[in-house]
Structure 1
Amino acid sequence: MQENTNREKLKLVPKKPGVYIMRNVDNRVIYVGKAKILYNRLAQYFIGTPRDQKTMQMVSNVTNFEYIITKSEKDALILESNLIKKYNPKYNILLKDDKTYPFIKIDMKNEYPYLSLVRKTHKDSNKYYGPFLNANVVNEIIDIVSKEYQIRSCKFDLTRPKKRECLNYHIGYCSAPCTRLISSDAYKINLSCAIEALDGGLRQMLPKLKKSMLDFADALDFENAGMMRDKIKTIEKFAEKHRVVTVKKVDLDVVYFYYTQGITAVIIIEVRKGIINDKKSYTFLETDDIANDEIITSFLEQYYLIKNERTNRIVLGTNLEDTQIDFDVLRESLSIDGMRDVGISAGRGKFSKNLLLMAKENAIDAIKQRLETKIDDQLFLLKEKLNLYSVPTRIESYDISNTAGSNPVGVMTVFENGAVSKKDKRTFAIKGNNGSDDYASIYEVLDRRLRNFVDGTAGFEQRPDLIFLDGGKGQVKMGKSALANYELDIPLFGLVKDDKHRTKDITDGYKNYNVRENRELFTFVSKIQEETHKNAITYHKKKNTLTATQSELISIPKVGKQTVS
């Protein structure tokens, strides 16, 4: 069943580079991978037979997957490494190490700064360039720049001058600051030229190198021509910009709003300490009649204030037309309730602009999936309202029924892809002496269901994507206690009723989610609660009828309990 779901989902995966994340039944990340073409790579897992036994073992544990589109395969490689360090997936054990990608560092605190390779950046006065995929490229760039601008390559303490220059000076590769053959001011002029070249990706060096390569080739000096060619390739690699990491240790959220064909998609890319940390996706239907400014303002206020999300800076992007956002007012509204000095901008730096392009591409893909999927709209609305990881294609709802504590029963009602699945309905006669104790009864019912799931009992093999309990905080607390017994991470909520026993809110035990504000979602949730309550009442009446019949038979002379049963 789950394998078929993944295959259906695979049809919507784009043929673009990116990173994919695989989760198990407990919603834990078990594998992170990168791909030049996402569809082709994921198809190797879900279509046909994986190449080896270990891969087959991993795929058998995958119940859901998601992905992030990147600009290039190299961006995907860097993002993959960052996500592996974040999630520590079970099947990425070979990639679990403490190494990070290399950077070029210029030690600006030194009187005579030099270039060096480092794997960590800091918030200081030094300059950093990177990250790079290959340490060899970093060392080659350091060598090229140092020689071109006569920057020292040694790391000696130069507070005291040396008596003699090293070989690099005599072959024209260094200006010998160690013996003060160059003044500090003159050295800094060389350094500023090197920094300017690095800031420009060393592109200004390419014409000179290409001319030298051709001159050497014309002179049949193919060895030096080959050396110039290799330097050109190295500089071209250096000039490549990566979208997924910045040398600045910034914390920010990139939020992109994209509208087309009646759907508005919102993509949030979280950056923490200069590294992409997470991606969240939301899609909203029927937004044609809502002002674009209202869409942006309402979403940001609900996301950051109501959902209690935190960030220091927000970079906004959108394709919504005629938007006139008052950044000062929005900044002020988001700077309350513990969020201080939230910076909001349209994204001016290269890193922010690159992330906005990535977010836009993912937003376009989210709308494509939304248009092509066969899953009902209510499930998407429910996912967004409850901030679930994935669309809840299988929902299980539970209710308890009794009369003054007699014949207590429980029922499990199942909704598959938004429709009630009568064949999956399960009933439970309460075995404990719980009587009219709804809390103890709901705990027993859910505990029995989960134990059957863990044991692989027939009829209970499928894992729910979402669990609803009829009731409030008390029922939710007992339900989460039952889940904890089996270490299962399944979203669980209570369906709260008003004084007239009609659906009112959804609660997670701490806060309530208002479903009345969306008629379509309210109707769907009410249907789940009403169907479950109806099933519980029907089963309870059946038990009462059976009990009454048994009581009448026992009253007949010479007929006992054994005969009745």
Structure 2
Amino acid sequence: MNSTYLLERLSNLPTSSGVYQYYDAKNKLLYIGKAKNLKNRIKSYFKITDQTIIPNPAISQRIQIMVSQIALIQTILLSNEQEALILENSLIKQLKPKYNILLRDDKTYPYIYIDMSEDFPTPAITRKIIKKKSIKYFGPYPNGAREILESLYELLPLVQKKSCLQGKKACLFYQIHRCPAPCEGKITQAQYHTTIQEAFKLIQNKNKLIALLNSKMHALSEMMRFEEAATYRDRINKLTAIKNFSVIDSTKLYDFDIFALSFEGKNAILIRLFMRGGKIISSSFEHIKSEYDFDENSIYKQAIINYYKEEIPLPPDQILLPSLDTEHISELETYLYKNCHKKIQISIPLKGDKKDLIGLAIKNANEILRLQSNRSYAEDVLLAALKDLLELNSIPFRIEVFDTSHHSGTNNVGGMVVYENMHFIKDAYRHYALSGSDEYSQMREMLTRRAQDFSIAPPPHLWVIDGGKAQVKLAQEILESQGAEVEVIGIAKEKIDAKAHRAKGSAKDILYTPKTSIALKPTDKRLQFLQKLRDEVHRYAITYHRQKKQKEMQKVSLLEQKGIGKASVKKLLDYFGSFEAIQNASSEELTQILGKRAAQIKAHLSTSG
């Protein structure tokens, strides 16, 4: 620490609300926080005695380590605590400081809803508020909403599609006893509403729903229809996972969201239980990893900001937490009221049935943590070894991997895959249609687009680039322009006779860091792990390239069928690079390439989209 700078800076801090940022001597972002009074909050990190300054011994070990590295303090002044709360959370997501713990699960969960004002209502799924008083909601369902909905339509004679109600004749669904055919007046509204009430019961009673699905599965098996039976088996497995808490039933019709954190070593589990009408109807959890200790206050605060960032269909009356600093409760309740348009109390129960619910959440979080930690131990050791090998600043718990694919300068595409907690996170995969004419410019375009999305999808710990020194340097420049703390390495394929060699277990690929290159033995587990990541992104990019090329070939074939010769099509593709570029070309550009035939081509292109 630079004592002279820090003593002077602390004496000149503002006393208003705002956000503060700590940087180290290399201008790397260490930490982001917010405060009602910036001067009081920032000074609380330090202990000053006789013009000497040290980290405050009363703060956590993680924060003491961070404070010892502070070389620069920056502040952003804001009008009030609410603005500071929101900006702090946004900056943590976008910049991923080294000592902040980042929660990535900020999804809104689906709900099943039924519009009871309709003559023949049908269940559907929504994640948003539907502005009608007649809507009845069920949920939230972090998992299984689609499976519940499909089961309702298969087990009950419901109107299968809203468009059916516009018809005048019963369709196939009526013939197979899946629809009561109100279009032909074969059922009254009163009779149909009896079926809707049965749907309500099945949504609320997962045991009964699963029992009906089991009967259907066994019947299909007896008829040797094994593929259909397997579909029901998979659905039952999904629904069984969300019914585990359904035995918990309160005599009081509580509407609670219950959060609890369990942590040990580098692993933590944040669990959420959703209680509606006195029953726990669903749950979800997030696996969090950190090299340092876990700040419970920060995690609970961030979880509430993330999950209640907008109005939800069935907000709770109370949020139950095991603990939270008193200073955060009031500001978070104000945040909840502003976003959810409802007064939601944050409670830290000390006794009674609410305390028992907290205990239930902690018990389940502990068990999930035990299972997750046992499974991830070997990988944690491997990732720590990678950190040492590559001289990274932090363990790369979340990794994004990039590759491009093209053929003779056409159908240029890129792919990004994501790896975390022993899994490829396929929901986070992204593909990119690229316009660059060479691999370097294509990589620049893809990485820039990804970095510009950090405010929406937070950055990982590490980027792995399929390439060498030039690509690593390029990635660093892009990340620095965004101010994000993400480390970069490259993996360059061994080439034999000028061709990339990908033989698993024997490829002598080279690793590139910003400082050096590293050659490992083909049997090295660290190399094999990175090769696994590189091979997955290569597969993903190639697959997208082939799909794009196939679509292009189909469009080219249509042009040829309309009398546009192969020579003309080749000229256009050679010049513009893709069918989309040809389609977007002006008449003047087409005339430059094809002369008098341009008008005919333009007419055909306008009908080929």
Same fold by TM-score, threshold 0.5 exceeded?
Answer: no
TM-score by length of 1: 0.32
Higher relative contact order (CA 8 A, sep 6+): 2
TM-score by length of 2: 0.30
Larger Rg over CA atoms: 1
